[in-house]
């Protein structure tokens, strides 16, 4: 298997590019082929994929499990919602820039505290800090409307050149917004891919694999972890901003820690040991959750059972399991080296 | 004057409940190195089971006997713990990563929350009878429920019993030996599997006992476990994971800060707890009494 991969490395890369191109074309064609509802689901999936890509820079590449990424997702979402409410801004681009800035600041702040710890302490600490934001959103009723949440109208896209009012606004928005998110998703994935393949990405992996050795060869472990935290939180914040126009309503639930659990869940579902795992997991989770909710009132039960099954039987997730199958059947490997 | 005494008693009551929850969390972590995400849900489960037992038994048995039935909810959850450990957690010990038990117990949390919604629905269940039965005591001319004092007493007795058990019995020595070095303990011929199973069940029992004693005073509602889990995390982060003393001190700090916070800055009361926890971790990374990193 290993020998195969080395000798056919060039072939594997061009094959991978071909697959990526086919998937990219499919991504563009989808709204023309499926119902608006399916398009909406897919958009949700793509937004969560951006969040999961950010999350996995910490879990998969740096070896830090954060149980508090709802903080950054919620920061993005609330930044946009508060701007719409108090500043009367409706431009999506402004939302994105502001959301990126606040999520960046928030993750910089959280990171300083959290990266001093690893493993379980790290997980609990991020979780505890994320709940500070939750209580603020929950308790400052006068500003955030508390659990009633904030409603947001359709934003304008592309510097105000696309507005959505009047009859059929919803349908038009869904299709346009799908493309908007799809482009940003591809962009995010490309940037994340470059981060993971850069010397910095490799440094993170060396820290994950052996912190002591990484320190010995002169790597500033804590600084690198902090930077990973920063990128990770900012990506997830972007997802939060993009999520808001889909839901058009934000409550403190996106800051509450079970939502962080959801991000963890979908990453494990796809498989955190590969680059594509979180993307596959986010898309699969979007459908899994929607159909589970439609099928039974007790969908959480179902999700819990799926999670336990995954960890017990398929700890490498969907992508890892497919890899394994492919290896058994001697298919060429698509797995980008993590 | 009476207000001050009441507030202190409230803080101690609050600390008592948190101590039971956090002691369970710390027992499991101290011995097995597992942070149990479903801990809050087990707290809620203990509350629901106890409330149901009390409701069924009320009227059939003298009310005084109902107090003896209170621990039944905790015993039931303890037995559930005996089943959870070998079924879900045992297979993970061979894997090095600490993250997998976290994920498994998060899955368990999702399952338990919905199972409780299925069985008990979304209406609060109360066992208020016991609070009424004990009545009130007059402190500086104002009335204060005796039941709260009962809860504090239960926590003190349980804490003492736990301390004696861990530090003064043979099984306590075995427990601590296993916690310190599982492989060595196993090499010496100790039944490590059994120790793990009992430690997990013990942690479940403690947290469910907290739920059981709380339920006559504040009804069992869905979602009570989610908040309890976070607060327990704050307690063990301040006190140090895996330390009994830490659970006690952390619970007292959190109980005190919460009572002061509710009085003077209600909006920031919860936020201040998390900030204290973060501050403690900055100064002492393993918490006030933690030893493991």
The pLDDT value recorded for residue B270 is 80
**Taking CB atoms and an 8 Å limit, are A261 and B293 in contact across chains?**
no
Asked if residues B200 and B89 have their Cβ atoms less than 8 Å apart, the reply is yes
Q: pLDDT tier at A36 (50, 70, 90 boundaries)?
A: confident
**Taking CB atoms and an 8 Å limit, are A312 and B285 in contact across chains?**
no
Q: Is the pTM of this model over 0.90?
A: no
**Taking CB atoms and an 8 Å limit, are B281 and A113 in contact across chains?**
yes
CA A34/CA A37 separation, integer angstroms: 8
**Taking CB atoms and an 8 Å limit, are A128 and B114 in contact across chains?**
no
Percent of chain A with pLDDT strictly greater than 90: 31
Per-residue pLDDT tens over the stretch A94-134: 899 999 999 999 999 999 888 888 788 888 888 888 888 88
CA A192/CA A185 separation, integer angstroms: 10
Using the predicted structure, report yes or no on whether residue A165 has a pLDDT greater than 80: no
The pLDDT value recorded for residue A198 is 92
Q: pLDDT tier at B41 (50, 70, 90 boundaries)?
A: very high
Task: Determine, yes or no, domain membership for A338.
Answer: no
The pLDDT value recorded for residue B182 is 83
The pLDDT value recorded for residue A336 is 53
Q: pLDDT tier at B133 (50, 70, 90 boundaries)?
A: confident
Task: Determine, yes or no, domain membership for B1.
Answer: no
Percent of chain B with pLDDT strictly greater than 90: 30
Per-residue pLDDT tens over the stretch A251-305: 998 999 889 989 998 998 888 888 888 999 999 998 888 888 888 888 889 889 9
Q: Indicate the DSSP class of residue B138.
A: E
**Taking CB atoms and an 8 Å limit, are B117 and A136 in contact across chains?**
no
The pLDDT value recorded for residue A1 is 35
Domain containing residue B192 = 16-223
CA B51/CA A56 separation, integer angstroms: 42
When comparing pLDDT for A299 and A231, which is higher? A231
Domain count within chain A: 1
Domain containing residue A110 = 2-328
Distance from CA of A98 to the nearest CA of B (A): 24
Using the predicted structure, report yes or no on whether residue B106 has a pLDDT greater than 50: yes
Q: In CATH, what number is assigned to the domain containing residue A132?
A: 1.10.3470
Using the predicted structure, report yes or no on whether residue B293 has a pLDDT greater than 60: no
Task: Determine, yes or no, domain membership for B287.
Answer: no
Helix residue ranges, H only, B89-223: 99-120, 129-134, 146-168, 170-180, 182-187, 192-214
Asked if residues A61 and A195 have their Cβ atoms less than 8 Å apart, the reply is no
Contacts of A131 in chain B (CB under 8 A): 230, 270, 274
Residues B76-81 have a mean pLDDT of 93
Burial class of residue B50 (count of CB atoms within 10 Å of its CB; 0-12, 13-18, 19+): buried
Contacts of B29 in chain A (CB under 8 A): 120
Lowest-pLDDT choice from A62-66, A214-218, A259-263, B134-138: B134-138
Q: Out of A123, A139, A304, whose CB is closest to B107?
A: A304
Task: Determine, yes or no, domain membership for B277.
Answer: no
Contacts of A272 in chain B (CB under 8 A): none
The pLDDT value recorded for residue A2 is 39
Task: Determine, yes or no, domain membership for A337.
Answer: no
Task: Determine, yes or no, domain membership for B250.
Answer: no
Residues A197-211 have a mean pLDDT of 90
Task: Determine, yes or no, domain membership for B228.
Answer: no
Domain count within chain B: 1
Overall residue count recorded for chain A in this entry = 338
Residues A174-188 have a mean pLDDT of 90
Task: Determine, yes or no, domain membership for B262.
Answer: no
Average pLDDT over all residues of chain A? 85
Average pLDDT over all residues of chain B? 86
* Chain A contacts to B (CB-CB under 8 A): 59, 65, 67, 113, 116-117, 119-121, 123-125, 127-129, 131-132, 135-136, 139-140, 256-258, 261, 264-265, 268, 298-301, 303-308, 311-312, 315
**Taking CB atoms and an 8 Å limit, are A113 and B282 in contact across chains?**
yes
Q: pLDDT tier at B107 (50, 70, 90 boundaries)?
A: very high
**Closest-CA residue in chain A for B235?**
A128
Per-residue pLDDT tens over the stretch B150-200: 999 999 999 999 999 988 988 888 888 888 888 888 888 888 888 889 999
Size of interface A-B (CB pairs under 8 A): 122
ipTM: 0.86
The pLDDT value recorded for residue A328 is 81
Using the predicted structure, report yes or no on whether residue A161 has a pLDDT greater than 80: no
Task: Determine, yes or no, domain membership for B260.
Answer: no
Residues A157-166 have a mean pLDDT of 74
**Cβ partners under 8 Å of residue B3, min gap 6:** none
Residues A10-36 have a mean pLDDT of 76
Using the predicted structure, report yes or no on whether residue A3 has a pLDDT greater than 50: no
The pLDDT value recorded for residue A11 is 59
Task: Determine, yes or no, domain membership for B167.
Answer: yes
When comparing pLDDT for B293 and A225, which is higher? A225
**Taking CB atoms and an 8 Å limit, are A258 and B226 in contact across chains?**
yes
Residues B61-82 have a mean pLDDT of 87
Q: Which of A87, A83, A79, A88 is nearest to A234 (CA)?
A: A79
The pLDDT value recorded for residue A5 is 41
């Amino acid at each position: 298997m290993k020998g195969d991969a080395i000798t056919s490395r060039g072939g594997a890369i061009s094959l991978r590019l071909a697959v990526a191109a086919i998937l990219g074309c499919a991504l563009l064609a989808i709204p023309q082929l499926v119902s608006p509802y399916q398009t909406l689901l897919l958009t949700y999936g793509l937004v969560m994929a951006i969040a999961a890509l950010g999350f996995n820079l910490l879990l998969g590449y740096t070896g830090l499990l954060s149980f508090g990424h709802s903080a950054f997702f919620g920061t993005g979402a609330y930044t946009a919602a508060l701007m719409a409410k108090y500043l009367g801004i409706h431009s999506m681009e402004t939302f994105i820039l502001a959301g990126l800035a606040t999520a960046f600041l928030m993750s910089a702040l959280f990171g300083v505290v959290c990266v001093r710890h690893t493993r379980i302490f790290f997980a609990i600490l991020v979780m505890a800090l994320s709940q500070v934001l939750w209580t603020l959103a929950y308790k400052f009723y006068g500003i955030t409307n508390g659990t009633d949440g904030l409603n947001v109208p359709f934003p304008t896209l592309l510097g105000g050149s696309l507005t959505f009012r009047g009859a059929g606004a919803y349908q038009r928005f869904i299709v346009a917004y799908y493309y908007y998110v799809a482009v940003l998703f591809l962009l995010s994935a490309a940037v994340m891919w470059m981060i993971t393949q850069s010397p910095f990405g490799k440094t993170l992996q060396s820290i994950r694999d052996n912190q002591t050795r990484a320190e010995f060869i002169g790597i500033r472990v804590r600084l690198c972890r902090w930077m990973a935290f920063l990128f990770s939180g900012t990506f997830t914040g972007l997802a939060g901003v993009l999520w808001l126009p889909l839901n058009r309503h934000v409550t403190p639930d996106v800051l509450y820690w079970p939502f962080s659990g959801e991000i963890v869940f979908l990453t494990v579902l796809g498989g955190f040991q590969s680059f594509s795992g979180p993307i596959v997991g986010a898309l699969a989770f979007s459908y899994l959750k929607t159909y589970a909710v439609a099928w039974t009132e007790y969908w959480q039960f179902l999700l819990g059972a799926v999670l336990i099954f995954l960890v017990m039987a398929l700890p490498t997730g969907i992508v890892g399991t497919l890899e394994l199958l492919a290896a058994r059947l001697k298919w060429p490997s698509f797995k980008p080296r993590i | 004057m009476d207000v001050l005494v009441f507030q202190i008693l409230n803080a101690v009551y609050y600390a008592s409940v948190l101590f039971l929850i956090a002691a369970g969390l710390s027992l499991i972590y101290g011995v097995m190195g597992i942070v149990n995400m479903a801990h809050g849900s087990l707290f809620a489960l203990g509350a629901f089971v106890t409330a149901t037992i009390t409701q069924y038994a009320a009227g059939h048995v003298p009310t005084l006997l109902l107090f003896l039935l209170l621990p039944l909810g905790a015993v039931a959850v303890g037995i559930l713990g005996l089943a959870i450990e070998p079924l879900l957690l045992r297979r993970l010990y061979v894997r090095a990563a600490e993250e997998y038990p976290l994920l498994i117990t998060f899955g368990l949390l999702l399952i338990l929350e919905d199972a409780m919604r299925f069985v008990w629905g979304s209406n609060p269940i109360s066992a208020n009878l016991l609070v009424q039965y004990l009545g009130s005591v007059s402190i500086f001319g104002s009335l204060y429920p005796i039941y709260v004092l009962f809860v504090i007493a239960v926590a003190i007795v349980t804490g003492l019993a736990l301390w004696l058990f861990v530090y003064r019995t043979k099984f306590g020595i075995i427990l601590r030996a296993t916690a310190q070095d599982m492989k060595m303990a196993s090499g010496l011929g100790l039944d490590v599997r059994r120790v793990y199973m009992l430690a997990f069940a013990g942690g479940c029992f403690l947290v469910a006992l907290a739920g059981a004693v709380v339920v006559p005073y504040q009804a069992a509602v869905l979602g009570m476990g989610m908040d309890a889990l976070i607060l327990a995390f704050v307690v063990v982060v301040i006190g140090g994971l895996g330390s009994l003393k830490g659970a006690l001190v952390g619970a007292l700090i959190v109980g005190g800060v919460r009572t002061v916070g509710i009085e003077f800055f209600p909006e920031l009361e919860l936020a201040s707890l998390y900030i204290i926890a973060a501050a403690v971790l900055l100064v002492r990374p393993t918490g006030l009494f933690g030893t493991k990193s």
